[in-house]
Copies of this chain bind each other. A is one copy, B any other.
């Protein structure tokens, strides 16, 4: 099996190495030619995972034309550049199954990532890969579980079989909107969780926030044709759990800085890798309005990030909503 991964950040690099460990030929497309050259020359990523050696069966390249002849093409890029990347991949996509490894939305349109891939490439099965998967845990061989969602079950099975090994287990789902919405929205809740932690509030508050966040994720997923039970799964509660507690979450770290008093615009600008939640809260606001559902936590995050709402005021507004059934 030939697997191409477009995007050589943490997650893309980890997926390429993982593909090689599963016994496949892997091509890693780096947008930065220097990254590709460095990996080819030294079998190390110049900026990430200094202790991890790239297997010989990973070929790092600067050109998307090398994806030709792939069975799977996995996209692992910031949401903001996915559409452009898909356009450049299109001529070389052949008969590959397309897989989005991106957890986010196109801000201007609110489109999900597989929708963007379908619009720009189309004509073949398109899947979303999501779940609680920090790149470094996958590379370390920690037992990890994730989900691949595709309307085409045989394509879902093909991805599942190609990317599962003893340490990494993929479950299948047919709920593409549910899996993608959950993956995008959890980053917004993770920012809120970071804010709560940064304000010095305790675990009760964090747990309440995360749970009410899961409830509002479920509302939007339900209104947009996804399944509530997806929220109970790896792409929902599982990834939310990881992102809101794990130390490596960029979204949570961004929120924590803001909770401790950092200026939101400056904190966003200085995040070392893209914190997708900072975009997703804007997309989520539009999607929620369109679907007619309330997302008070998402809205609070958006107002804190872009409209100067103070974190303390936001929390006390969230806590003083009327008492009601859960």
* Residues in A lying within 8 Å of B, measured CB to CB: 131-134, 136-138, 140, 142-145, 147, 160-161, 164, 166-167, 169-174, 201-208, 210-212, 214-215, 218, 228-229, 231-234, 237-239, 241-242, 244-248, 315, 319-320, 323-326
Which residue of the partner chain, among B140, B166, B212, B320, contacts A166 with CB atoms under 8 Å? Answer: B320
Residues of B within 8 A of A172 (CB): 323-326
Task: Report the separation of the CA atoms of residues A207 and B246 in the bound assembly, to the nearest whole angstrom.
Answer: 9
Complex contact B204–A323 (CB within 8 A): no
Partner pick for A237 among B144, B161, B211, B324, CB 8 A cutoff:
B211
**Interchain CB contact under 8 A, B323 and A171:** yes
Given contacts A171-B326, A324-B171, whether A137 and B214 have CB atoms under 8 Å apart is no
- A204 & B137 in contact (Cβ 8 Å cutoff): yes
Q: Specify the chain B residue showing the minimal Cβ separation from A237.
A: B237
Are B132 and A208 in contact (CB-based, < 8 A)? yes
Contacts of A136 in B (CB 8 A): 202
**Residues of B contacting A247 in the complex (Cβ-Cβ under 8 angstroms):** 203
**Which residue on B lies nearest to A164, using beta carbons?**
B323
Contact call B169/A319, Cβ cutoff below 8 A: yes
Residue of B nearest to A326 (CB): B171
A173/B237 contact (C-beta < 8 A), A203-B132, A207-B132 known = no
Chain B nearest CB, measured from A213 CB (Å): 10
Chain A to chain B contacts (Cβ below 8 Å), 19 pairs: A132-B208, A134-B202, A142-B205, A143-B208, A144-B205, A160-B323, A164-B323, A172-B323, A172-B326, A206-B242, A207-B238, A210-B238, A210-B241, A211-B233, A214-B232, A215-B233, A218-B229, A241-B241, A245-B245
What's the minimum C-beta distance from A251 to chain B, rounded to whole angstroms? Answer: 14
Contact indicator B132/A204 (Cβ below 8 Å): yes
Q: Check if A233 sits within 8 Å of B326, measured CB to CB.
A: yes
Instruction: Decide: B232 and A232 in contact? CB cutoff 8 A.
Output: yes
11 new A-B contacts at CB < 8 Å, known A132-B204, A132-B211, A228-B229: A137-B202, A143-B201, A143-B204, A143-B319, A203-B247, A207-B238, A207-B246, A231-B232, A234-B326, A241-B241, A241-B245
